[in-house]
């Protein structure tokens, strides 16, 4: 079997590695570096540039340079470049093509099989978009795995004792927290959480905003109105952030490109680590809630963690490391390069799938609950979040109306009780259902999530065998900020959602009872006395009034009264 590689397709940098003969090697690119900037650019005449070359020309060519495209993966965004409109997948494919060429250059042979990593909290859409980018670049994608899980593979491959490991992955564009149980070659993901729009880029943005204000104050110049100036400041802020990770202050001298009819301006200032940390304290605090939620989902405490692993270049910031030490009362394990460890773990997983690495089993989970819309606008879960994948789940549903020949299925992802508070992933329709009374048709709905965390849904009417389904299209799925909001809003609104779900379920039960009573009334009217019919009519009328009012207590009382009438009638019939 041919060689296989592991790729960390990052927001800021991408890394590739290979596992051979019990050793993991990070592969250098054509520029002699181990990190390839995830930057794409075109010259005015259409010449394509990728990596360090593209990054280094950005300040002179900002309008035709694209960076941090990973944040757009899974969306239907289009990126204008040189008069063309490109998808995030197309941009990412160019980056992956460079990686493929660099691998061939160093190994002396073409390698087309790869494991690619994604943030643990990437949605189905984002995972699928990543897979599409890999295919566009000419790769056979063996597996999509989560970045924190890959890091744990790199750190814990040879451990025999069972340990609980918590991984913080703070990269350029995303933050993930994953909790794994590791030992005897088994890597079991217990829980994941995170924020797909929180990363080192956001720390950079705070510095950019700070410098922008200083320039406006001192020079009365708005750099945002000049793309070249803005790009210069952006690059300077990335350097400042790096310097402040290893020293207490950073001194910058920045001559900004002159605008037409304006003199050139020079920026010279010193920024201290304390100022930087004060500017970004609120973002640091944003690491805490996803961490607590992951611990809660795993039913573990900070004290249960045997090791804390920091992954991603942004975890080099001293404030991040101090926060980890404070939360877990232990020093994080930083033996491996945080920029390279994810690619190393991906390479190990590629080796497992390729047969060159033995006795390692990876068990991953799905980040959010999945289900369908049911009567009353309720979200009915078929697969709960943090369920081990691959997984499939089936449930039997029935027709809501008499003689219903068509059923519509709305596939949803999220954590709220009501459909309107979750995100629709797509919909499909099952037709040719036999004409049967309400509740008599039987339709089996199946959800299947593969090892890459990608979803497929199908429905089959069991009487006829008619079936339909949907392979979720990436453009219909969740964006990163929607995923973050899903869990956050679920926590904030948990009590209210529970109450509202109870109200909806009560109204559905009341309505079903009304329909049953009406069926009895009209089906047996001739055999019922006037007194009995009046009682049933009165009970139905009362139940309908309660249903219209929408108050649970009134519906429950009316339902009880109607049930009592029907039960009494049945007893009388039996005695007769």
Tell me the catalytic residues: 8, 70, 147, 169
Q: Which residues of 126-157 are buried (b: 16+ CB within 10 A; e: fewer)?
A: bbbbbbbbbebbebebbbbbbbbbbbbbbbbb
The encoded tokens of residue 336 equal 């491996």
**CA gap 116, 353 in Å, rounded:** 13
Determine whether 21 is exposed, middle or buried from the number of CB atoms within 10 Å of its CB (0-12, 13-18, 19+). exposed
Asked if residue 467 lies in contact with residue 460, where contact means CB atoms within 8 angstroms, the answer is: yes
**CA gap 357, 210 in Å, rounded:** 49
Percentage helix, strand, coil for the chain under 3-state DSSP, each rounded to 5: 45, 25, 30
Q: What are the C-alpha distances in Å from 115 to residues 155, 169, 357, 388, 458?
A: 18, 18, 14, 19, 28
DSSP, residue by residue, 25-42: EEPP-TTS-S-EE-EEEE
**CA gap 11, 67 in Å, rounded:** 8
Q: Residue 307's CB: how many other CB atoms inside 10 A?
A: 19
Q: Which of 340, 310, 305 is nearest to 322 (CA)?
A: 310
Q: Which of 537, 558, 534 is nearest to 546 (CA)?
A: 558
**CA gap 154, 170 in Å, rounded:** 17
- Give the helix/strand (H/E) hosting 183: strand 175-183
Side-chain half-sphere exposure of 50, counting CA atoms within 13 A: 21
Q: What are the C-alpha distances in Å from 32 to residues 40, 105, 392?
A: 18, 11, 45
| In the block, residue with structure tokens 């250059």 | 105
Q: What are the C-alpha distances in Å from 235 to residues 60, 127, 572?
A: 12, 29, 86
The encoded tokens of residue 138 equal 């000419």
The encoded tokens of residue 304 equal 């249960």
Ramachandran assignment for 401, one of left (phi > 0), alpha (psi -120 to 50 degrees), beta (any other):
beta
227 forms beta bridges with none
- 395: DSSP letter: E
**401 CB-near residues (< 8 Å, 6+ apart):** 438
């Amino acid at each position: 079997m041919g060689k296989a590689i592991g790729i960390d397709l990052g927001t800021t940098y991408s890394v590739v590695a290979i596992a051979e003969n019990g050793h993991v090697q990070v592969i250098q690119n054509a520029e002699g570096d181990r990190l390839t900037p995830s930057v794409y650019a075109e010259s005015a005449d259409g010449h394509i540039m990728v990596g360090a070359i593209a990054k280094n020309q950005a300040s002179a060519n900002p309008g035709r340079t694209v960076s941090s495209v990973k944040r757009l993966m899974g969306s239907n965004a289009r990126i204008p470049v040189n008069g063309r409109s490109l998808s995030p997948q197309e941009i990412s494919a160019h980056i992956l093509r460079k990686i493929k060429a660099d691998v061939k250059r160093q190994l002396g042979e073409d390698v087309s099989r790869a494991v690619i990593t994604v943030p643990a909290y990437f949605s189905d859409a984002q995972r699928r978009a990543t897979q599409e980018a890999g295919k566009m670049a000419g790769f056979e994608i063996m597996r999509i795995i989560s970045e924190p899980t890959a890091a744990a593979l790199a750190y814990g491959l040879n451990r025999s004792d069972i340990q609980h490991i918590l991984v913080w992955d703070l990269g350029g564009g995303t933050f993930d927290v994953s909790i794994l149980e590791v030992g005897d070659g088994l890597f079991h993901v217990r829980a994941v959480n995170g924020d797909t729009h929180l990363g080192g880029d956001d720390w950079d943005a705070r510095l950019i905003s700070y410098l922008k204000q200083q320039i406006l104050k001192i020079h009365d110049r708005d750099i945002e109105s000049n793309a070249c100036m803005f790009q210069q400041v952006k690059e300077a802020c990335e350097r400042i952030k790096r310097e402040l990770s290893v020293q207490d202050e950073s001194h910058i001298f920045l001559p900004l490109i002159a605008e037409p009819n304006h003199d050139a301006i020079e920026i010279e200032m010193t920024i201290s680590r304390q100022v930087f940390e004060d500017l970004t304290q609120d973002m640091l605090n944003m690491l805490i809630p996803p961490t607590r939620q992951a611990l809660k989902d795993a039913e573990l405490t900070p004290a249960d963690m045997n090791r804390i692993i920091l992954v991603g270049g942004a975890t080099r910031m001293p404030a991040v490391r101090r926060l980890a030490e404070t939360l877990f009362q232990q020093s994080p394990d930083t033996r491996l390069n945080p920029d390279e460890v994810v690619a190393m773990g991906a390479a190990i997983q590629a080796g497992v799938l390729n047969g060159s690495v033995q006795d390692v089993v990876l068990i991953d989970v799905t980040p959010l609950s999945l289900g369908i819309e049911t009567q009353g606008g309720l979200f009915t879960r078929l697969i709960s979040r943090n369920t081990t994948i691959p997984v499939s789940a089936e449930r039997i549903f029935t027709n809501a109306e008499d003689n219903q020949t068509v059923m519509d299925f709305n596939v949803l992802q999220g954590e709220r009780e009501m459909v309107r508070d979750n995100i629709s992933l797509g919909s499909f329709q099952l037709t040719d259902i036999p004409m049967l009374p309400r509740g008599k048709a039987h339709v089996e709905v199946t959800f299947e999530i593969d090892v890459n965390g990608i979803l497929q849904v199908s429905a089959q009417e069991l009487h006829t065998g008619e079936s339909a389904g949907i392979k979720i299209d990436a453009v219909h799925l969740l964006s990163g900020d929607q995923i973050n909001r899903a869990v956050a809003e679920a926590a904030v609104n948990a009590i209210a959602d529970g109450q509202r779900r109870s109200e909806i379920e009560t109204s559905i039960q009341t309505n079903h009872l009304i329909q049953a009573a009406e069926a009895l009334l009209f089906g047996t009217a001739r055999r019922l006395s006037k007194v009995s019919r009046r009682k049933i009519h009165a009970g139905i009328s009362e139940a309908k009034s309660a249903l219209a009012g929408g108050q649970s207590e009134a519906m429950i009382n009316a339902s009880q009264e109607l049930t009592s009438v029907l039960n009494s009638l049945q007893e009388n019939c039996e005695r007769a």
